[in-house]
Amino acid sequence: MRILAIETSCDETSCAVVEDGRKVLANVISSQIDLHALTGGVVPEVAAREHVLKMVPVLDECLGAAKCDWADIDAVAVTQGPGLISSLIIGTETANVISYVKNLPLIPVQHISGHIYSNWLERDTEPEFPILILTVSGGHNDLILMKDHFNFETLGETRDDAAGEAFDKVARILGLGYPGGPAISKIAAEGNDKAFKLPEIYLEKGSFDFSFSGLKTAVMYEVKNYIKAHKLKSEEEIPHQFKADLAASFEKTTVETLSEKLKMAAEKFPEIKEIHLAGGVSANRRLREVCTAKIAKMSKPVKFRYPASIPFCTDNAAMVAAAAYYSYKKSPSKFKPKSNIIPTTSFSL
* C-alpha span between 223 and 23 (Å, rounded): 46
Choosing from 21, 182, 307, 343, the residue that interacts with ligand KG4 (CB under 6 A) is 182
The span of 11-19, 87-95, 200-208, 308-316 binding Zn ion (CB under 5 A) equals 308-316
Binding-site size for Zn ion (CB under 5 A) equals 2
Choosing from 117, 167, 304, 335, the residue that interacts with ligand KG4 (CB under 6 A) is 167
Q: What are phi and psi of 80, to 5 degrees?
A: -90, -25
Choosing from 137, 211, 249, 257, the residue that interacts with ligand KG4 (CB under 6 A) is 137
* C-alpha span between 80 and 224 (Å, rounded): 41
**Least CB distance to Zn ion at residue 70 (A):** 28
Choosing from 139, 156, 307, 343, the residue that interacts with ligand KG4 (CB under 6 A) is 139
Cβ–Cβ under 8 Å, residues 145 and 130: yes
Query: Among residues 105 and 279, whose Cβ is nearest to Zn ion?
Result: 279
Alpha helix stretches (DSSP H) within the chain: 33-37, 44-66, 85-102, 111-117, 163-173, 180-188, 213-229, 240-268, 285-296, 317-330
Choosing from 315, 317, 326, 335, the residue that interacts with ligand KG4 (CB under 6 A) is 315
Which of the listed partners (Zn ion, ligand KG4, none) does 50 bind, with a CB threshold of 5 to 8 Å by partner kind? none
* C-alpha span between 83 and 134 (Å, rounded): 19
For Cα atoms 177, 39, 249, give the angle at the middle one, nearest 5 degrees. 30
Considering the rule CB under 5 A, would residue 274 count as an interface residue with Zn ion? no
**Least CB distance to Zn ion at residue 344 (A):** 16
**Least CB distance to ligand KG4 at residue 314 (A):** 3
Choosing from 279, 307, 311, 343, the residue that interacts with ligand KG4 (CB under 6 A) is 279
Q: How many residues does the chain have?
A: 349
User: Pattern of binders to Zn ion over 129-148, x per CB under 5 A?
Assistant: --------x-----------
Query: Among residues 73 and 324, whose Cβ is nearest to Zn ion?
Result: 324
**Least CB distance to ligand KG4 at residue 58 (A):** 16
**Least CB distance to ligand KG4 at residue 342 (A):** 20
Give one DSSP letter per residue of 172-193, joined into a string.
Answer: HHTT--SSHHHHHHHHHTTS-T
CA distances from 104 to 66, 222, 255, 336 (A): 18, 55, 43, 7
Per DSSP bridges, beta strands 274-278 and 131-136 are: parallel
- Chain residues binding ligand KG4 by CB under 6 A are 10, 137-139, 164-165, 167-168, 179-182, 185, 279-281, 283-284, 314-315
